[in-house]
Amino acid sequence: MASQGLVYDGCNFFRQRLVLSTLSGKRVKIKNIRSKDDDPGLRDFEASFIRLLDKVTNGSRIEINQTGTVLFYQPGLLYGGSVEHDCNQQRSIGYYLEALLMLAPFMKTSLKATLRGVTNDPVDPTVDLLKSTALPVMKKFGIGGDGFELKVVKRGMAPGGGGEVVFTCPVCRTMRPVQLTDPGKIKRIRGVAYSVRVSPQMANRIVESARGVLNQFLPDIYIHTDHMKGANSGKSPGFGLTLVAETLNGFFLSAEMSSTPQGQGNPVLPEDLGRNCAKLLLEEIHRGGCVDSSNQSLALLLMTLGQQDVSKVLLGPLSPYTIEFLRHIRDFFQIMFKIEVQKPFEDERKGGDKVLMTCVGVGYSNINKTLK
């Protein structure tokens, strides 16, 4: 049975393969998952991700062999509804939420997902980052309306977790094609400095050092502090900063940093964290484009599944994750993008080469018809 689907090797890009399999309705087999490792097979956080997919779909079939090195996944119908999930502590909620953002607009009923676990860690995109950059990208495609929100109820830093996030997304009837080709100049910078189970002064120290770097370029900077106490502060101490730059044409570029999890590695000073995060934001602005590097794959997926019309998006240099995502889109949807590299002008001190991505959407409703 698995021979009719797609076969992949290894554990890399695990989420991409399962998300695209669910959207396209094509079954997928992943073999040799860490087969040569001392501890072979699926990790706990990957098994937790499969359980989440099982909750939002109806009729999915998942087969895993005894050692966990081979997975066969036959996707069911994307149903949605009200879902509660305890995410594994090894990865943050952002790991699970990135996949939900891709699936949510195409569900049969509106989605209300309550995710519990680690909200902020140094590895995955934090909930704050996804809230301030991924949701605006989706709104450009006509997804949203009333009840489209992402709310942090409780914060939970790594490694203890204890955070809670509620994500609601209505069903998207039609997605409009987009022409996002001119990002415009940066007009303002906003941010959130958060601290839990440490002195509230930590957040103020982060803000001071970040402003020290950014005020050299722009006066309109507002970073608000978020200090949660008691039951809402999770189980582990920590602090961090999320910065978002908004352009004149309403696009968002972001950067973030979190403190080292308790008991792991060298502790980080709030001053250094603020300064380094500001430099990361400047690096992201230097890369440019209408979508920041953490949301490139989301934008490309929405272009692919949009109406049968031409969409164009200007991106900065493609990340290795995005390049692999394009290969997977070709495998699952037989869609190829036209890629044009735009060199910066001699007199403009802008970032590196921009990439203009063009494609004709396949139309998600058409995929549904073929599935039926």
For domain 186-287, the question of CATH label 3.40.50.920 is answered with no
CA distance 289 to 353: 10
**Tens digits of residue pLDDT in 27-38:** 999 999 999 999
Q: Where do the domains of the chain lie?
A: 1-78, 186-287
Retrieve residue 333's tokens.
């949807």
CA distance 146 to 131: 16
For tokens 């999930």, what's the residue?
Answer: 85
Question: 349 pLDDT band (50/70/90 cuts)?
Answer: low
**Tens digits of residue pLDDT in 232-262:** 999 999 999 999 999 999 999 999 999 999 9
- Topology given in CATH for the domain delimited by 1-78: Translation Initiation Factor IF3 (3.30.110)
Peptide bond into 159 cis (omega under 30): yes
pTM to 2 decimals?
0.94
Nearest to 224 by CA among 252, 204, 209: 204
Q: At a CB cut-off of 8 Å and minimum separation 6, what does 1 contact?
A: 27, 72, 74
Q: Count other Cβ atoms within 10 Å, centred on residue 12.
A: 12
**Tens digits of residue pLDDT in 112-160:** 999 999 999 999 999 999 999 999 999 999 998 888 999 999 999 999 9
